[in-house]
Amino acid sequence: MSGSTPFYQKHHRHYDRGYRSKELESAVSQYQSSSSSSYAARRSSSRASASAALSASSGHVIALHERTTPVPCSYTRLSSSYSDLEESRLSPMPKRAKPTYLAMDKENQIIGYVVPIFRGSHEYASGFSDTEEARVKESAGYMARRNLFTSGLEMERTEQTSRKVSMRESAERISLSKRIYENEEHHKRMNKDSLMHAPEFVIKPRSHTVWEKQCVRLHCTVSGWPDPRVVWYKNNVTIDPMAHPGKYKLESSYNVHSLEISRCDFDDTAQYRVSAMNSKGELSSFASIVVKRFKGEVEEALPMPRPRSTDNEDGLISEYGITFDTHIVDGFGVSFGREGETMSLGATVIISPNLARYQPEVQWYRDDVLLQPSKWCHMHWSGDKAMLTLTHLNKEDEGLYTLRITTKSKYETYSAYVFVRDADAEVEGAPGAPLDVKCQDANKDYVIVTWKQPAVDGGSSILGYFVDRCEVGTTHWSQCNDTPIKFARFPVTGLVEGRSYTFRVRAVNKSGMSRPSRVSEVVAAMDPADRARMRGTSAPWTGQIIVTEEEPAEGVVPGRPKELEVTEATKNYVVLSWKPPGERGHEGIMYYVEKCVSGTDSWQRVNTEIPVKSPRFALFDLAEGKAYSFRVRCCNSAGVGEPSEATEATTVGDKLDIPSAPGRVVPTRNTDTSVVVSWEASRDAKELVGYYIEASIVGSNKFEPCNNKPVKGTRFICHGLVTGESYVFRVKALNAAGLSECSQQSEAIEVKAAIGGGIPHASPTPPYGISVLECVRDSMVLAWKQPTFIGGADITGYFVDYREVINGVPGTWHEANVKAVSDRAYRVSDLKENRKYQFQVRAANMAGVGIPSLPSGTFVCEEWTIAVPGPPHDLQVTEVRANTLVLLYKPPVYQGRDPVNGFYIDIKEADAEEEAWRGVNEKAVLTNYMKIKSLKEGETYVFRVRAQNKAGVGKASEPTEPVLAKTKPGTTEIVVDVDDDGVISMNFACSNLTPDSKFVWSKNYEEITDDTRISVATSGEKSKATFNMPAEDDIGIYSCAVTHTDGACSSYTLSAEELKKLLELSHDHKFPIIPLKTELAVELQEKGRIRFWLQAEKISANGKIEYVFNDNSLSQGEKYKMNFNKDTGVIEMIMESLLPEDEGTFTFQLQDGKATNQSSLVLIGDVFKGLQKESAFMRKEWHRKQGPHFVEYLSYEVTPECCVILKCKVGNIKKETVALWYKDGREVKGDEKLTFTEGVLKLEIAQISKKDAGVYEIVLKDDRGQDTSTLNLTEQGFRDLMNEVFSNIANSSTALKIQSTDEGIRLYSFVSYYNEALQVTWHHKDAAIAFTDRIKSGVVGEQLWLQITEPTEKDKGKYAIEFHDGKGGLKRTVELSGQAFDDAYAEFQRLKAAAIAERNRARVAGGLPDVVTIQELKALNLTCNISGEPLPEVVWLKNEREIVSDGHYVMKFEAGKYASFTITTVNTTDSGKYSILVKNKYGTESADFTVSVFSPDSKK
């Protein structure tokens, strides 16, 4: 033990470093009163045991109950080393007894923990000495002992001194701790409530990793008041030291608790939990122990390997190389016993060679189940005889017993049947005892007890069963059910967790009670997870150690239970099952179960007083026939959690039906005292337990049971019959619901040996067509065809024989299979490679095994290596019609190099040559069936199938038998029906049934064995397959075949589209509704009336309507006016007005026979308020319209010409009605005449501008009243109006066009009307244009233009004009680039040049008259302005001839501007046409004038 303070004392709450100075005198006085006697006794005892053992100082202890500070590590090392030194050098005495480290008081009560004082430690002793002198003496003594080996007297004196000091200090501590303890107890008694608190772990257990066969101890310190009760768990299973003597050791003292595990093995690797609980609560802490195993270590439990040599000391001989021959002689035969008797079965076993000390493995089996020694059966092996003793026979002991002797070479078996009959009933006529009582689904407080019904009912039907229980350790049996139950299964509740029970069952009929059954195995009421951990084995060591420590979650309200379901429902009880929630912490949880009658919302707690601990619960006292829903809540100390999801409605009643009576019973002779009885299994039997067979001598009418334990097969050998008597047999099936009706009696059969006495023609004819499907080095897969005649019953299987052919000589036949195979293919194993074999096949049915087939051809056993697949097999033709049939086949056994990925079907006429084979499908099919179409009626065909993989197409299968394409008379097809309840079913009828015929339903040509999706019911000549819950999983091909007929079968393809139609039809049938043309709607009528109405598409005169408001029926009255027009189907309800209390849901409920429908309208919140407001408004409007009124209030309209028209529509006016227009309170003139036909008043604003903004009002009045309409065209109203005007302007704009000028390029668009307030923006390349002297914009009339002066390359791009209308605006764009720019630019250059030429060409500006009339002899002077650059050349012409300046004509050109023409003296010859011609390089221009000269004389 370490010299440091134990870990569990480091944080003790009473520790005080200064306590030694307090009340020291009291402690010393108490010590002195008892120290002398106790010390003397201890000293004498110590000296007697080891007077000189100076180092073995474990007898000197110091109570450290109050100590919290650990002794320094240096002291620990020093004391340890010194102790070893002293023991090895100085101590000639034997070692002292193992010390105890517990401090005891006078009553031997533990008062503290102690640690030894190592007397040789100077550091330790000095810590407890009172005076310097003592310390010096101790130091000196230590040095003397160590270096000089002083005398024993000196050593004894030193020891005495040290002992006195230590004992005195120990006494002080003991006294003080006792006083503190008494003071604590006093305060606790004075005020318990203030000190009571839940458990708390001061020190938690730590996880450990240890090697195998080591010991480990877990410690913890727990505080709490009252003192907590501490329990240790391994993997949540309580640790019981009494159940594992020497394995576990539990200790508890002063709130320190420990668990010690001795010699750990690998199974001790687990999570350990320590739980502390008192009245204030419970707390747990966790620690893990990992046990490591040395690599290569062999378990002791495993047998040691046998030595290989024969010359060893023990004389053991190795088994290798020795062949043992085992023979079982003097065996036991068929035995008969009675309940309560003792029976022994034995056999002599001869093993050769007989080796000394060699023990074979001896095993006993009952019905192929290995038996273990128990109180019911004892086993004994004497070396040459095996014995099995059944100490107390019960019907459970009935069965086939097998003795198996196993050596290393082989094994031998011997079997015989044991029959156990019922004991005599205690009451005459009482039934036999039930049997096979078992406990299932055991949990903390719940278990399900099951049993099997007895074969003997005592002459009257069994009324039910009583279940009894007995707690292990007692002999008191208590009855679990008050009334007998007929179901052979019963949930027992109210068990106490942690206790073990056994159960038994008694049957009762009207005569009395049966004997009790054999008691069940012991079952413990505990969590299944705990039970599994107790039974389970630890996982092998993986080399990884994971140590975890998990803290419990405190104050966690558990979550919802999961996966709640009804696992069992009978008319007596319903069993619920669920899984615990994930959110629950480590605290235990319990459950409350609630039920609710279907159709209501009232939940009622079932277990109101005590919550259940198990996630299972049985509910009794439910009303049979009623439907219930269930839910579960979790609870713990933190509270009750939320409920689970409720189950579907479950109707109380027996869900498991009693099985139907078995089919035909066929007896077959066996021996002179036994008969083989075969029968057909019960059809559609659920949870079948087995069968009882009864026999009766012909004419006696008294049936006796042949077996008292149900058999599961359909064949049984009935022993104990009287030779020569004739018997008839019948069979009953049973399940938990009860026993079926008896089958029909078999034919009478005389009991005698079967040699030569078989039933003629009962067994099948031989199979034929044996072929090889696959061949490997040591096995071959064979296939064959079904016999042409199956005999008196269905074929139950096939037996294959093989023989080797050597040099053409066949050998002996050998059996390939012991048990019959049901498929027509079988792998024969253990063949030899490259050897030749022949095969034969025999078919078997209930009557026996038929004669073998002819030997097959000779096949060589060599491995196939071809890449393509082998041939498909087992081809069957079904659904033969005049033009179609279905071919079924199985894939090849030999796949080839790659998996099979498709099949090809070949066809030919039966009498055609081999070359006539042709393919049916061009593309490979993936299914194992195919419907072949386009057959010729009356033609006979044969078919074959080939499989393909990636490597190619393989060998073809054997062809089918010839098939005649003809629809047989009486052929029927599957009819799909949807009944009135919406149930979808497929129906097939067959009129040519035989007694053995059965309807077999298949999906995708695989027999339907699972009834979860489809339920099959057969009655007489009809069979119905009903879809339980039709869904996409049901899509496929469904077929129904009738056995023992001439191929009666049919199929139906359920596609997705067909399923959708059927589901719609099913819904319509299941929930017939009255079709509605319109759903319930609401509308407002005149005077604000509210009309609720709907229209039914079809409803009879007997239809009924119920008007509902907020779940309350409404009736005809002042407030509600109802009307139902049965001719039109219109249903209406009218209300004068809506009040606040009318807010809610209105519903019309329709019923017409079975059909129903309803329609609802919710009027709440804003919808209701809006309707109420609109109704009030309409009522007000109605009153307003009694006089002149506005039908349409004042509004405006913008014409395409951007003219604004204010208009309103009026009604109910007359001649005297006056309309007055106002703007901002001032009257304006509008239409002066009002007519009844027009009814529209208008005010036109031609060109609107800001001055037209204002509030416009029109008043309509006459002697009946007046009405007013106002239109606000200020601020936002005016802006909206202008935006509409702008929008019209924008919409009227033309596309943006390009025009070249002599200054540059102009872009322009025309609008129908331009308003100064219109805002436009020009864009270039999607960016607004910043205007300059070179780029300008403007408006000319209705043209908006952009002028680009002297355009350059930078001016290329996309241009747009954007019209702003306050909304999205409108853009007109044009692309000024590419050819468009080049053309525009070229035109600009041309115009520019033309402008320059036009500007600089020679011109005659004016001044010349057209005609000049002048008198002869006068002087004529004409002047004109000339312009042009360069200076033009001036020429004067007369009559198209140039005039030269002379004395008569004077022509001048002055200052480059003025040209003058003078005729000095005019004469008549000067008359004529004159012209001035000016020209320069830019052009020529002329001006003409005429001169007319007259003489005065002529004028006169």
How far are the Cα atoms of 28, 37, 985 from residue 32, in angstroms, in the given order? 6, 10, 103
Give buried/exposed letters for 217-253 (b at 16+ CB in 10 A, else e). ebbbbbbbbeebebbbbbbbbebeeeeeeebbeeeee
| DSSP 8-state assignment for residue 99 | P
Judging by beta carbons within 10 Å of its beta carbon (0-12, 13-18, 19+), is residue 1455 exposed, middle or buried? exposed
Q: What is the pLDDT of residue 43?
A: 42
Comparing 317-331, 751-765, 1373-1387, the range with the smallest average pLDDT is 751-765
Q: What is the pLDDT of residue 550?
A: 46
| DSSP 8-state assignment for residue 375 | S
What whole-number distance in Å separates Cα of residue 514 and Cα of residue 709? 16
For 518-534, how does the pLDDT look when each residue is reduced to its tens digit (9 = 90+)? Answer: 999 999 888 776 666 65
What integer is the mean pLDDT of 1009-1036? 91
Comparing 362-366, 611-615, 805-809, 1080-1084, the range with the smallest average pLDDT is 611-615
Q: Which residue has the higher pLDDT, 820 or 946?
A: 946
Judging by beta carbons within 10 Å of its beta carbon (0-12, 13-18, 19+), is residue 1352 exposed, middle or buried? exposed
CA dihedral 240, 243, 248, 252 (to 10 degrees): 40
What integer is the mean pLDDT of 1108-1129? 90
Q: Highest mean pLDDT range out of 189-203, 612-626, 735-749? A: 735-749
Decide if pLDDT at 198 tops 50: yes
Q: Where are the alpha helices (DSSP H) in 1301-1411?
A: 1378-1400
Comparing 499-513, 757-771, 798-812, 1339-1353, the range with the smallest average pLDDT is 757-771
What integer is the mean pLDDT of 227-251? 88
- In the chain, the N- to C-terminal Cα span, in Å, equals 178
What whole-number distance in Å separates Cα of residue 549 and Cα of residue 780? 59
Decide if pLDDT at 92 tops 50: no
CA dihedral 986, 989, 993, 997 (to 10 degrees): 0
Q: What is the pLDDT of residue 760?
A: 41
Q: What is the pLDDT of residue 127?
A: 39
Q: 464: Cβ–Cβ under 8 A, 6 or more apart, which residues?
A: 483, 484, 485, 486, 507, 508
Q: What is the pLDDT of residue 1112?
A: 92
What whole-number distance in Å separates Cα of residue 699 and Cα of residue 693? 18
Q: What is the pLDDT of residue 90?
A: 35
Decide if pLDDT at 111 tops 60: no
* Amino acid in the structure at residue 1425: N
Q: Which residue has the higher pLDDT, 76 or 1468?
A: 1468
Task: Please choose, from the candidates 753, 748, 667, 676, the residue with its C-alpha nearest in 3D space to the C-alpha of residue 719.
Answer: 676
What integer is the mean pLDDT of 591-599? 88
* Amino acid in the structure at residue 1058: E
Decide if pLDDT at 996 tops 90: no
Decide if pLDDT at 119 tops 50: no
Q: What is the pLDDT of residue 81?
A: 37
Given a contact cutoff of 8 angstroms between Cβ atoms, the answer to whether 1307 and 1345 are in contact is yes
For 1288-1343, how does the pLDDT look when each residue is reduced to its tens digit (9 = 90+)? Answer: 888 888 888 998 888 899 899 998 888 888 888 899 988 888 888 888 898 888 88
Mean pLDDT over each residue of the chain, to the nearest integer? 81
Q: What is the pLDDT of residue 337?
A: 92
Q: What is the pLDDT of residue 691?
A: 94
> What percent of the chain has pLDDT above 70?
83
Q: What is the pLDDT of residue 34?
A: 46
Given a contact cutoff of 8 angstroms between Cβ atoms, the answer to whether 1241 and 1258 are in contact is yes
| DSSP 8-state assignment for residue 330 | S
Q: Which residue has the higher pLDDT, 492 or 254?
A: 492
Decide if pLDDT at 1128 tops 50: yes
Comparing 108-117, 339-348, 471-480, 1474-1483, the range with the smallest average pLDDT is 108-117
The DSSP string of 981-1016 is T--EEEEEE-SS--TT--EEEEETTEE---TTTEEE
Give buried/exposed letters for 396-406 (b at 16+ CB in 10 A, else e). bbbbebbbbbe
DSSP strand pairing (61-63 vs 674-679): unpaired
Q: What is the pLDDT of residue 547?
A: 44
What tokens appear for 1410 in the block?
A: 């057209």
Task: Please choose, from the candidates 1323, 1291, 1319, the residue with its C-alpha nearest in 3D space to the C-alpha of residue 1307.
Answer: 1323
**CB neighbours (10 Å) of residue 355?**
14
Q: What is the pLDDT of residue 1070?
A: 81
What tokens appear for 781 in the block?
A: 């897969």
Strand boundaries in 64-211, DSSP class E: 102-104, 110-116, 197-203, 208-211
Decide if pLDDT at 201 tops 50: yes
Comparing 321-335, 764-778, 811-825, 984-998, the range with the smallest average pLDDT is 321-335
For 1438-1481, how does the pLDDT look when each residue is reduced to its tens digit (9 = 90+)? Answer: 888 888 888 888 888 888 788 888 988 888 888 898 898 888 88
Q: Which residue has the higher pLDDT, 30 or 895?
A: 895
Comparing 127-136, 981-990, 1019-1028, 1420-1429, the range with the smallest average pLDDT is 127-136
Q: What is the pLDDT of residue 553?
A: 47
**CB neighbours (10 Å) of residue 171?**
19
What integer is the mean pLDDT of 1389-1394? 86
| DSSP 8-state assignment for residue 19 | G
Comparing 203-207, 255-259, 272-276, 293-297, the range with the smallest average pLDDT is 293-297
- Residue 843 host element (H or E): strand 836-845
Q: What is the pLDDT of residue 1131?
A: 92
Phi-psi region of 664 (alpha: psi -120 to 50; beta: other; left: phi over 0): beta
**CB neighbours (10 Å) of residue 1325?**
11
Judging by beta carbons within 10 Å of its beta carbon (0-12, 13-18, 19+), is residue 777 exposed, middle or buried? exposed
Strand boundaries in 91-228, DSSP class E: 102-104, 110-116, 197-203, 208-211, 216-225
What integer is the mean pLDDT of 686-693? 91
What integer is the mean pLDDT of 1076-1103? 89
Task: Please choose, from the candidates 240, 285, 273, 403, the residue with its C-alpha nearest in 3D space to the C-alpha of residue 333.
Answer: 403
For 381-410, how does the pLDDT look when each residue is reduced to its tens digit (9 = 90+)? Answer: 888 899 999 999 999 999 999 999 888 777
For 170-195, how does the pLDDT look when each residue is reduced to its tens digit (9 = 90+)? Answer: 888 888 888 888 777 766 655 555 56
* Amino acid in the structure at residue 402: T
The DSSP string of 716-751 is EEE-SPPTT-EEEEEEEEEETTEE-PPPPPPPPEE-
Structure confidence at residue 800 as a pLDDT band (50, 70, 90):
very high
What whole-number distance in Å separates Cα of residue 403 and Cα of residue 332? 10
Given a contact cutoff of 8 angstroms between Cβ atoms, the answer to whether 1457 and 1476 are in contact is no
Decide if pLDDT at 130 tops 50: no
The secondary structure of the chain in percent helix, strand, coil, rounded to multiples of 5, reads 15, 40, 45
Q: What is the pLDDT of residue 1443?
A: 87
- Residue 183 host element (H or E): helix 152-190
Given a contact cutoff of 8 angstroms between Cβ atoms, the answer to whether 404 and 412 are in contact is yes
What tokens appear for 491 in the block?
A: 């949930």
Given a contact cutoff of 8 angstroms between Cβ atoms, the answer to whether 991 and 999 are in contact is no
As beta bridge partners, residue 257 has: 220, 252
**Strand-by-strand arrangement of the 377-381 sheet:** 325-329, 343-352, 385-390, 377-381
* Phi, psi (deg, nearest 5) at residue 85: -65, -45
Decide if pLDDT at 1037 tops 90: yes
Given a contact cutoff of 8 angstroms between Cβ atoms, the answer to whether 1296 and 1345 are in contact is no
Decide if pLDDT at 23 tops 70: no
Tokens 């009622």 found at: 604
Alpha-carbon 789 to chain mean position: 51
- Residue 156 host element (H or E): helix 152-190
